[in-house]
Structures are given as structure tokens and as C-alpha cells.
Amino acid sequence: MVNKITVVGAGNVGATTAQRIAEKELARTVVMVDIADGIPQGKGLDQWESAPIELFDSRVIGTTGYEETAGSDIVVITAGIPRKPGMSRDDLLNTNAGIVGAVAAEVAKTSPKAILIIVSNPLDVMCYVAMKVSGFPRERVIGMAGILDTARFRSFIAEKLDVSVRDIQAMVLGGHGDTMVPLISYTSISGIPITQFLSKEELEPLVVRARNGGGEIVKYLKTGSAYYAPSSGAVQMVEAIVNDQKRILPCAAWLEGEYGMKGLFLGVPVKLGRKGMEKVVEIALSADEQAALAKSADAVREPMSVVKL
């Protein structure tokens, strides 16, 4: 347990993230911030009133200012407008860049030692904005995307084969979008290569569905986007950091030569511990996987070049 964790954004993703952090008692105080007066206060009070039933002692506070967030150990940024039907992640770019940049500036002033976990979309570019504006080192700015993309891929495999999700190991790298890279060579069920269960032709629809996982949910909801699985991914990262678990998880990290790339955030395996991103883990990729990762990196660099800071 740490002293304080802040979640910026009291929408579906932020509120669900705050609730799960509180229920796991990862911090003594959980602060939820949002510009919409009354929303964070009301949701925070509602969550705190669930504590006697769910049996957690993490105090949940809702606010519209950053005074209560001062000295936060971890700040999860979910703020931004959600993706709407027909809207690509890049359509969100400059609106959310302004929002995330303003948040990062406030956090840098009130919690200069915090670790930032970015959930806002377009994810990889928002990580870049947060790091540039905050001035934090790369170890303390990490994006939640690969965990979500991997969870979707694993859930689709489990559904296809009628097996437990617990036994499926997988890793999805690259940018959080249409160019994400599910690593078939590292996908297995209880250590048995996935290719012994499914042919390449059978795997391809699952890969495509994973890439379009967020869009599929947006089409169903019509006026919103996914929040249960994204919040789970963010909380898994928080838990790994708070408890110094040294988890190897796919996250968006700032690359400085790893995988032959530098100067961008991209989904790669990283070791998460109490200091944040402790190491980028480099693994051997097939020629096709390396090419796909390079293509994904190009897709991230394009919006980075036009983002307005």
C-alpha cells in the first residue's frame, strides 16, 4: 500500500479504476479528479459508502482541483473525450493532447515524484504529451495499452477453444490501434504452442478481432467506449508498481534504441516495479513480427509529428 493514488477523470474508465484501486486497498487515499463539478464528489462518496460492504479502508475522495492530489505516488490519467462511432483514435488527437497536457502540468506541480500511467487515447501519443509536458523521466511515464490488447486476444482464444483464460499466455506489442502486433510465436496454452490448437487461417480472425476490439465495443455502446477491461489493465499496472511485483507486462514505453527504435512510445514488454518502468525487455521476434512492429511504429510517429504541445 502507498499513501495516495490519484485517478484523473471520473468517467466510466476513471471511476471504475478508482473503485478497483480502493477495493484492492492499494493506497490509503484514492483521489478522483474531474472538471465536471459534482461528478467526482458524488461518485467518490458513493464508492466510499460501499467500503463497509466490500470491506476496504482506502478513503475515496472526489474533487475538481489538484490540491487534494498533492504528493500522489501514482497518477492514472484517463481524462479525455471518448471515441465515438466512426471516429478513429487519431481523430481524438489534438483535443485530448490539450487535456492530457494540462493534467500533466498540474501533476508535475503537485506530485513531482509521481509515476504516471496513461490510459487516454490516442494512447501512444498521449504518453508522449504527458512526458514532454511533465518533464518526468521515461521510467515514470508508462501507457496502458498492451495489457488491454493482450487481454482481448486471450479472451477471444479462450472463447474459440473453450478453455480457461488463466491458461492462455500471449503478448501484443506495438501501437494501440489498427497496427498492433499479436505475437503468435509467443502465444501458448499452458506452455503448448497455440499452433498446435489453431491453424494460421483459424488464428487470423482472432488477430483481426483483437485489433478491432475497442471499435467493436464502441459499435455496440453507440455513445461510449470500453471501460471494464481498460480499468482492469490500468489497475494491474498500479498493483505491480505498488507491490513491487517485477511483473513483465506489455506497456507503452519510451524507446531509446530498444528493438532498433528510439524517440517514441510503443508497446513492448517491460518490467514494472516500485520505481515504475524498471526495464524494457527485448525479446527475439520473427522477421514478420519485426516488420509489423516497425510498421506500427511508423503509425505512431505520424500523429506525433503533428501533435500541438
Residue-by-residue DSSP string for 14-53: HHHHHHHHHHTT-EEEEEEE-SSTTHHHHHHHHHHHTHHH
Give pLDDT, residue 172.
96
pLDDT digits (tens, 9 = 90+) for 254-277: 999 999 999 999 999 999 999 999
Q: Are 75 and 107 in contact (CB under 8 A)?
A: yes
Give pLDDT, residue 224.
85
Domains, the chain, ordered by start: 2-143 (3.40.50.720), 146-306 (3.90.110.10)
How far is the CA of 207 from the CAs of 200, 202, 220, 276, 309, in angstroms? Answer: 10, 9, 20, 30, 34
Segment 84-98 mean pLDDT = 76
Give pLDDT, residue 92.
72
Give the separation between CA 177 and CA 128, rounded to whole angstroms. Answer: 16
Give pLDDT, residue 223.
85
Segment 138-146 mean pLDDT = 97
For residue 272, what is its C-alpha cell? 514494472
Give the separation between CA 271 and CA 59, rounded to whole angstroms. Answer: 29
**What pairs with residue 273 in β-bridges?**
276
Segment 141-159 mean pLDDT = 97
pLDDT at residue 91 above 80? no
All residues at 6 or more sequence positions from 159 whose CB lies less than 8 Å from its CB, including other chains: none
Residue-by-residue DSSP string for 77-97: E--SPPP-TT--GGGGHHHHH
Segment 28-44 mean pLDDT = 98
Please state which of the ranges 34-48, 89-103, 163-177, 220-234 shows the lowest mean pLDDT. Answer: 89-103
Residues recognised as catalytic: 176
pTM for the structure as a whole: 0.95
